[in-house]
Amino acid sequence: MASSPRRTVVCSVLPLLLLLAGAARASGNFYQDVDITWGDGRGKIVGGGDVLTLSLDRASGSGFQSKNQYLYGRFDMQIKLVPGDSAGTVATFYLSSQGSAHDEIDFEFLGNASGQPYTVHTNVYSQGKGGREQQFRMWFDPTADFHTYSVVWNPTHILFYVDGTPIREHRNREAATGLAYPRSQAMRVYASVWDAEEWATQGGRVRTDWSRAPFVASYKGFAASGCASQDAAACARSNGAWMYQELDATALDRLQWVQKNYMIYNYCTDTWRFKDGAPPECATK
């Protein structure tokens, strides 16, 4: 796709994005920004609204959603994942619309036995179709402290970041391949902690040790900057810096470093799953 003369090239460090956006990006207040939607008291806002904890026990997990819906934008969340033996648990931070033909942009964090690394699972759905998974290990312990997980979504790119480092770039290939791209459905921001012991850890071979419950993940620093209109045409004309962001050469180098050293699964290279060849978007440059 030809570059727009208005396009802003994104560097590899997210703080520069704040300058490009020309906006203060202080952490939001969970009392003002989200609704706890399920969990029967297992989701709790603490610290005057600065922190939200989600817990999981054998009876239930918990979750919350943003009050606003967005069509394009930039979304940041600081998360401290479930420590210790977190096998069978999944913590999430994602965007999603509603319905069977929904769009979705996922960060999922698959727990593991004590001493084993988390798996960071990413996926993109459009018109109800997903199956575009990439998975990563992290280069730090995501349970020891808060780390920032970010999504930039605009008409040409979906970018996934961890602590300002890009880990995944999903481009709009609709014109070249016919693969639908999320561009018409507004999405809310969601987060949850839930039980997935049937599949989450080593394909379900390692089960949840419920004697260690409750399993608690902590969230803070939620920031969202995007088009909150329900008018898709109006949002397509948004002038926020996130509308024109893409990766520059330095950021692409960092992306390649992550994918070379920390990617553990890429649907594009799964020859067992795609015996007749990779999906067409995988070959498009």
Tell me the catalytic residues.
104, 108
Cα–Cα distance measured from residue 116 to residue 139, given in angstroms and rounded to the nearest whole number: 13
User: What percent of the chain is helix, strand and coil (3-state, nearest 5)?
Assistant: 20, 40, 40
Q: Answer whether 185's CB lies under 8 Å from 71's CB.
A: yes
Cα–Cα distance measured from residue 195 to residue 82, given in angstroms and rounded to the nearest whole number: 12
Cα–Cα distance measured from residue 172 to residue 180, given in angstroms and rounded to the nearest whole number: 8
Cα–Cα distance measured from residue 20 to residue 3, given in angstroms and rounded to the nearest whole number: 18
Handedness of CA 138, 143, 145, 151 (dihedral sign): positive
Q: Answer whether 52's CB lies under 8 Å from 46's CB.
A: yes
Which position has the token pair 């922190």?
51
Nearest to 154 by CA among 223, 75, 251: 75
Nearest to 267 by CA among 253, 285, 283, 250: 283
Which position has the token pair 């199956």?
131
Nearest to 193 by CA among 61, 104, 30: 61
